[in-house]
C-alpha cells in the first residue's frame, strides 16, 4: 500500500513537471528560495542557543582543502553596536539588531601562495550558511560587506581589536523578524548554459 502511494505521488510530481526538490516538503529548498536580506527587526532578543546554532551552521560550510580558515566575532554589546552603526553606514541597521556576527578570515589558517585567497570563498560559504540558518529559525539577517574595502576593514578592526592576521569579510546584523518579506525573483533562464556557451 505504501509503495503504491509512493508511486502515485511520484507519478503526479513527474506529470506536473515539478522535481521532488521543488515541492514544499523540502524545507531546505524552501529556505533557500525564501531567504532575503532583513534590515529591520522586532524588539525580541536572539537567544544564546540560537546564536550557537548559527555559528555551528557557519562552521559546517565547505572550505578549500578543509582548511576552515574562519573566525567569528559575536557582538551583543549594544553600545558597541551603536558605535559600529555610526562608523559603518552600510551596516547602520546593526543599531536596531539584537546581535551581529562578524565573519573573518584567519590568514594564519589559510592556504599558502595564491591559494590563500580561498579564505574569501570559504568565509562566503560560511556566511551564506548563517543567513540560511537564520531565515529557517524565524530570524532576519543581512550580509554587510567589509572586505575588500580598506577603510571599512580598518574601522571594524579597530573597533573589535582584531589582530593583523584576522580580516573581517562582513558583518551580519541579526534580529527576530518583525514581518514576512517577499523574496526577490532572481530566476533568469538566459544565465544558464548547457555544456557550452
> Which residues make up the interface to ligand FMN (CB under 6 A)?
36-37, 39, 90, 142-145, 184
Closer residue to ligand FMN, CB minimum distance, 13 or 159: 159
Cα 140 versus chain centre, distance: 10
Query: Helices H, strands E: what count in the chain?
Result: 6, 5
Q: Is the peptide bond before 41 cis (omega within 30 degrees of 0)?
A: no
Closer residue to ligand FMN, CB minimum distance, 147 or 176: 147
Q: Helix (H, G, I), strand (E, B), or coil: what is residue 38?
A: coil
Least separation in angstroms between CB 107 and ligand FMN: 19
Closer residue to ligand FMN, CB minimum distance, 163 or 183: 183
* Residue with cell string 571599512: 152
Least separation in angstroms between CB 156 and ligand FMN: 12
Please enumerate in sequence order all residues whose Cβ is within 8 A of that of 159, keeping only pairs 6 or more positions apart, or say none: 80, 83, 84, 87
Residue 144 backbone phi and psi in degrees, to 5: -110, 115
- Select the residue whose beta carbon is closest to ligand FMN and give its number: 145
Closer residue to ligand FMN, CB minimum distance, 142 or 176: 142
Per DSSP, what are the bridge partners of residue 41? 177
Cα separation of 144 and 142, whole Å?
A: 6
Least separation in angstroms between CB 36 and ligand FMN: 3
Closer residue to ligand FMN, CB minimum distance, 49 or 180: 180
Least separation in angstroms between CB 6 and ligand FMN: 35
Least separation in angstroms between CB 9 and ligand FMN: 31
Nearest by Cα to 72 from 34, 46, 109, 35: 109
Amino acid at each position: 500500500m505504501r509503495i503504491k502511494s509512493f508511486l502515485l505521488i511520484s507519478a503526479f510530481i513527474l506529470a506536473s513537471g515539478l522535481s521532488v526538490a521543488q515541492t514544499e516538503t523540502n524545507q531546505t529548498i524552501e529556505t533557500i528560495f525564501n531567504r532575503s536580506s532583513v534590515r529591520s527587526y522586532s524588539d525580541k532578543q536572539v537567544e544564546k542557543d540560537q546564536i550557537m546554532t548559527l555559528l555551528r551552521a557557519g562552521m559546517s560550510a565547505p572550505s578549500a582543502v578543509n582548511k576552515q580558515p574562519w573566525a567569528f566575532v559575536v557582538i551583543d554589546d549594544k553600545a558597541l553596536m551603536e558605535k559600529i552603526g555610526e562608523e559603518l553606514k552600510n551596516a547602520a541597521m546593526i543599531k536596531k539588531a539584537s546581535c551581529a556576527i562578524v565573519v573573518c578570515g584567519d590568514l594564519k589558517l589559510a592556504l599558502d601562495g595564491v591559494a590563500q585567497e580561498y579564505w574569501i570563498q570559504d568565509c562566503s560559504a560560511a556566511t551564506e550558511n548563517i543567513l540560511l540558518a537564520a531565515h529557517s529559525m524565524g530570524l532576519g539577517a543581512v550580509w554587510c560587506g567589509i572586505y575588500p574595502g580598506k577603510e571599512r576593514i580598518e574601522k571594524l578592526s579597530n573597533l573589535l581589536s582584531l589582530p593583523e592576521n584576522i580580516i573581517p569579510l562582513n558583518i551580519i546584523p541579526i534580529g527576530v523578524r518583525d514581518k514576512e518579506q517577499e523574496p526577490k525573483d532572481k530566476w533568469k533562464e538566459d544565465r544558464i548554459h548547457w555544456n557550452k556557451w
